[in-house]
Amino acid sequence: MNDYEHIKKQDPEIFASLEGEEHREAEGLELIPSENYVSMAVREANGSCLTNKYSEGYPGKRYYGGQTYTDMVETLAIERAKKLFNCGYANVQTLGGANANIAMYFALLQPGDTVLGMDLSHGGHLTHGHPVTYLTKIFNFVRYKMKDPNTGEIDYDEMLRVAKESKPKIVLAGFSAYPRELNYAKFVEIAREVGAYAVMDIAHIAGLIAGKAVKSPFDFGFDVMTSTTHKTLRGPRGGLILTRDNEEIAKKIDKMVFPGLQGGPHMNNIAAKAVAFDEALQPAFQTYAVQILKNAKAMEKIFLDNGVRLLTSGTSNHLLLADVFGSLGITGQEAETLLDQAGITLNKNSIADDTRKPMDPSGIRFGTPAITTRKFTEKESAQVAQLMVDVMKNKSDEKKLAAIREEIRTLCKKFPIPESFV
């Protein structure tokens, strides 16, 4: 745990918040599938002297002097990312996953062009074309959905029909709340049929791909993959754009990231990415990625055994989506609040074709990346799943809820957040 000695002396108010967050993370369980714990090495890089340096441009082609060490850092990050995902090109400067998607769109499209992406209500992401985003004022987004939310099967026949009708320039795979693997071959087939780029937003499963626990879209012919560098990849909060083997596409992406959309890269963050990529290249990371899946299946079993409906009837990746309103009569917002009080952090989430409002939906979304980082196995994951169900079933029993909170604290002490993964 960082002692924050300088902040403590200089800014006690911020210190109090940091100290509070350190304790919250240590004494509670993180089940938000897009969150994780990073190593102290990643934290040190992110808080390093590189935060002082402007490095507009790319290695060997900067606009400012004094770039000897920044060039070393960014080159290492690029080479490690390429090795990790077995591809020809990587841009490590994007500030987040949304930024990566925006840069990718502007690199590959002209205003008014069409993108075929997953509907948000069926598991997609805001940047895949939700009307609340500004992107929809620039590009035309059409959507595909699951054929049956109980199986998770995408309606590929309908997807092909929409693609032929709308002529998208990008066929976009990827998701934010979809618990299954996609049929990558089908996506590439549809993209080729209409002359579109095949792009995959791997933000949620980047670590599973890097750890070889699930398939890589590049092995099926995808042109580009965008990603965050946190979530299952267990790095700092940031973005990443990968190009399989097309130098022309890679050049367009680099030019769009800088100078097209961003200024100077955050070199401290890029150093932290490089450290995390190196951690993910170690054999232990593959064991970690496989355990994420095992732990998710253990949680799946407990929820199903308790009669809780899971969207797609379970999971093939790191996350689960439960219809708690339909199964237990508790809203997603109420469940999120109660579980937070018990020391279990997750997020409310809409389910497919939800009739409730997004801020108080029918479902909750949770996953296993962070608890797996704490060395949880199937046994502890099942224990946590049962405690979650118990909280929701006993929402008015204050004595029961207090006992569960203590059980969570005990579990957290037994499995502290590791400082190193190598």
Percent of all residues in the chain with a pLDDT value above 70, rounded to a whole number: 100
pLDDT (tens digit per residue) in 71-129: 999 999 999 999 999 999 999 999 999 999 999 999 999 999 999 999 888 888 989 98
User: Given the structure tokens 């754009």, which residue do they identify?
Assistant: 241
Instruction: State the DSSP H helix or E strand holding residue 89, giving kind and residue range, or none if neither.
Output: strand 89-91
Longest dimension (CA), the chain: 64
Check residue 121 and give its pLDDT. 84
| Set 169, 234, 237, 273: catalytic member | 237
pLDDT (average), residues 119-141: 91
| Set 54, 147, 189, 215: catalytic member | 54
pLDDT (average), residues 226-230: 98
Give the chain's domains with CATH numbers: 44-280 (3.40.640.10), 283-414 (3.90.1150.10)
pLDDT (average), residues 245-261: 98
* Residue ranges in 258-375 assigned as alpha helix (H): 267-280, 283-305, 324-328, 332-341, 369-373
| Set 19, 22, 35, 56: catalytic member | 56
Q: Which token pair is 93?
A: 């400067």
Asked if 54 is an active-site residue, the reply is yes
pLDDT (average), residues 315-337: 98
Which residue(s) pair with 345 in the sheet? 30
pLDDT (average), residues 24-29: 97
Asked if 380 is an active-site residue, the reply is no
pLDDT band per the 50, 70, 90 thresholds, residue 422? confident
pLDDT (tens digit per residue) in 344-381: 999 999 999 899 999 999 999 999 999 999 999 999 99
| Set 30, 74, 119, 201: catalytic member | 201
Answer yes or no: are the C-beta atoms of 257 and 264 closer than 8 Å.
no
- Tell me the CB-side half-sphere exposure of residue 92, using CA atoms within 13 A: 33
Centroid of chain to Cα 292? 14
pLDDT (average), residues 214-234: 98
Which 3 state secondary structure label does DSSP give 153? strand
pLDDT (tens digit per residue) in 271-318: 999 999 999 999 999 999 999 999 999 999 999 999 999 999 999 999
> How many angstroms separate the Cα of 313 from the Cα of each of 301, 306, 310?
10, 13, 5
Check residue 1 and give its pLDDT. 63
Asked if 63 is an active-site residue, the reply is no
Q: Please tell me whether the peptide bond between 259 and the residue prior to it is cis, using omega within 30 degrees of 0.
A: yes
Strands 197-201 and 170-174: parallel
- pTM for this model (two decimals): 0.96
Asked if 228 is an active-site residue, the reply is yes
| Set 70, 228, 232, 368: catalytic member | 228
| Set 53, 231, 234, 405: catalytic member | 231
